[in-house]
Amino acid sequence: MDIDKVKVIVRLRPESGRSIWEVNGNTLTSTRAVQGKATRFSFDGVYDEKSTSEEIYEAHIKRLTDAACQGLNGTVFAYGQTGAGKTHTIRGDEATPGIMPQAISDLFDIIKRNPDTQFLMRVSYVEIYNEEVRDLLSPSTVELKLREVTKGCFQAAGLIEPVVTLEAEVLELMRQGDHRRSVGSTLMNAQSSRSHAIFRISIESTSSGSALSRARVWLAFVARHSHVLVYGLP
Ligand SMILES: Nc1ncnc2c1ncn2[C@@H]1O[C@H](COP(=O)(O)OP(=O)(O)OP(=O)(O)O)[C@@H](O)[C@H]1O
Ligand SMILES: [Mg+2]
């Protein structure tokens, strides 16, 4: 299976001027030659400005959702400078849902299609802001303390992790968490996420005669690029 490899997918966002990148299959070529040489980079997937989050979900993420229901862990990690489109791609909005709501919808479809299997699903949503871990599902803004449970493995003490049974319930928790998330504005993004956020779905499943299988789907937003000061963070 190729889901045991780390895959790097690049998505170009629409720009006001002309893009300096050309997409050829899974290769990006800069139209600005450096010392007479074209700059070319290859990835596991390259998506141009016209691409949709749905296309990216179907091609790369759906297989992680399916695998999670069979007991395998998966992580989706978005990285890029402010305004690059991390929130747009992972979270999206009503009109253009990101990969997170699509994964949730698929998970509930899988549950419906497997009436002989019992699933127990829990969700959590945290942000890391100024080195503090905050629970986005909690109305209080108290910092969560990290505890090392086994060597190198940390747990946030007191994290709220409700059991969910309906898709609408998960979407509502996500909406409440988004509302509590720290946002500010940069020169490149009026609604800039100021924190790293991790939305986690834990799935346990059991069918008659088989052992309990447990998987955690991690969907993570990672905000901000190390060179962000250049782009106007106060
Ligand atoms: N592929 C795209 N197609 C259309 N609009 C996009 C695309 N990518 C980003 N945008 C728009 O650009 C703006 C900035 O995107 P977004 O908020 O997702 O950036 P971000 O990477 O999360 O930035 P930050 O680190 O500041 O939170 C938003 O208005 C978003 O809707
Ligand atoms: Mg963002």
Cα(91) to centroid(ligand 2), Å? 9
Q: Assign domain 53-231 to its CATH architecture.
A: 3-Layer(aba) Sandwich (3.40)
Q: Where in the chain is the domain with CATH 3.40.850.10?
A: 53-231
Q: CB of 20 within 8 A of CB of 30? A: yes
pTM above 0.75, yes or no: yes
Per-residue pLDDT tens listing for the chain (234 residues): 577 789 999 999 998 888 888 999 999 998 887 777 778 999 999 999 999 999 999 999 999 999 888 888 888 989 888 889 999 999 999 899 999 999 999 999 999 999 988 899 999 999 888 888 999 999 987 889 999 988 888 889 999 999 999 999 999 999 999 988 877 766 666 677 778 888 999 998 887 777 777 777 776 666 554 444 433 333
Residue 152 is assigned to a ligand binding site: no
Residue 87 is assigned to a ligand binding site: yes
List CB contacts of 65: < 8 A, sequence separation 6 or more.
Answer: 74, 103, 106, 107, 110, 217
The residue whose C-alpha atom lies closest to atom 13 belonging to ligand 1 is 83
**Ligand 1 lined by 225 (C-beta under 6 Å):** no
Closest atom, ligand 1, to C-alpha of 53: 1
